[in-house]
């Protein structure tokens, strides 16, 4: 069996085990509201299995292996198993301890770390339409692609840090979501459009 197929089977099995664990917990935990509380988690876990299969297939394309950052390719193949396990832990814990803030804290830290890790490897992505920022106008402009992803590297890392810091700095809670949206999406988008416009203007001259 090839390494790619083995990874697909293992990751899918982990996602499936997470779903079964969540269903069994809902069925046997002696609280009537548990099924309602975990129903959304079960749906997300089921969707996660489908997404995992799609990611493993797409990330095995030759262009992903050659043009994408190797770590991000591996992370993409394993992100759904990690997310599934995380979701089950959070769901079970929040059901047993409904008054605990653990779920919110864990989710914020998890998302923040994903931004930081992804941003750290952005500059290692070469031009491709599968891994990196999905701006179609960058696919035919390698220089603009590189510059945009270098900027996005800093903005994504900063977004992750801000997202985690809101746990310790109360005023950040009110503005963390808008700031993250600006840093993760809007700033790289505007910068990429500026680069494309500048290059086209230079070509006309």
Rounded to 5 degrees, what are φ and ψ at 49?
Answer: -65, -45
Question: Who wins on pLDDT, 98 or 176?
Answer: 176
The predicted structure's pLDDT at residue 98:
77
The mean-pLDDT minimum among 1-5, 46-50, 137-141, 194-198 falls in 1-5
Question: Who wins on pLDDT, 32 or 130?
Answer: 130
DSSP codes, the chain: --HHHHHHHHHHHHHHHHHHHHHHHHHHSS-TTHHHHHHHHHHHHHHHHHHHHHHHHHTTSHHHHHHS-HHHHHHHHHHHHHHHHHHHHHHHHHHHSTT-SHHHHHHHHHHHHHHHHHHHHGGGPPS-SSSS---GGGTT-HHHHHHHHHHHHHHHHHHHHHHHHTTT-TTHHHHHHHHHHIIIIIHHHHHHHHHHHHHHHHHH-
pLDDT in tens, 64-123: 888 888 888 999 999 999 999 999 998 888 878 877 788 889 989 999 999 999 999 999
* Contact in structure between 195 and 141 (CB atoms under 8 Å): yes
Cα–Cα distance list, 199 to 134, 148, 152, 191 (Å): 19, 13, 19, 12
Q: Which of 22-26, 89-93, 158-162, 194-198 has the highest mean pLDDT?
A: 158-162
Report the distance separating Cα 186 and Cα 167, nearest Å. Answer: 24
Cα–Cα distance list, 85 to 37, 187, 201 (Å): 17, 32, 50
The rounded mean pLDDT for the chain is 87
What is the percent of the chain where pLDDT is above 90?
A: 51
Q: What is the mean pLDDT of residues 41-46?
A: 86
The predicted structure's pLDDT at residue 25:
86
Question: Who wins on pLDDT, 91 or 52?
Answer: 52
pLDDT(128) > 70: yes
pLDDT in tens, 137-172: 998 889 999 999 999 999 999 999 999 999 988 878
pLDDT(63) > 60: yes
């Amino acid at each position: 069996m090839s390494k790619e197929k083995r990874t697909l089977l293992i990751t899918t099995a982990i996602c499936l085990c997470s779903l079964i664990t969540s269903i069994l917990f809902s069925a046997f935990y002696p609280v009537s509201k548990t099924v309602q509380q975990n129903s959304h988690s079960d749906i997300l876990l089921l969707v996660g299995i489908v997404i995992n299969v799609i990611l493993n297939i797409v990330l095995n394309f030759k262009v992903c292996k050659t043009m994408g950052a190797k770590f991000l390719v591996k992370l993409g193949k394993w992100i759904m198993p990690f997310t599934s396990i995380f979701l089950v832990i959070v769901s079970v814990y929040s059901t047993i301890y409904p008054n605990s803030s653990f779920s919110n804290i864990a989710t914020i830290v998890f998302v923040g770390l994903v931004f930081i890790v992804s941003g750290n490897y952005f500059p290692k992505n070469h031009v491709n339409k599968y891994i990196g920022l999905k701006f179609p106008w960058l696919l035919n402009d390698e220089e603009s692609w590189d510059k945009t992803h270098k900027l996005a590297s800093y903005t994504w890392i900063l977004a992750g840090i801000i997202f985690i810091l809101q746990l310790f700095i109360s005023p950040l809670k009110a503005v963390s979501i808008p700031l993250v949206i600006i840093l993760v999406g809007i700033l790289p988008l505007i910068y990429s459009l500026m680069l494309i416009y500048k290059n086209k203007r230079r070509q006309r001259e």
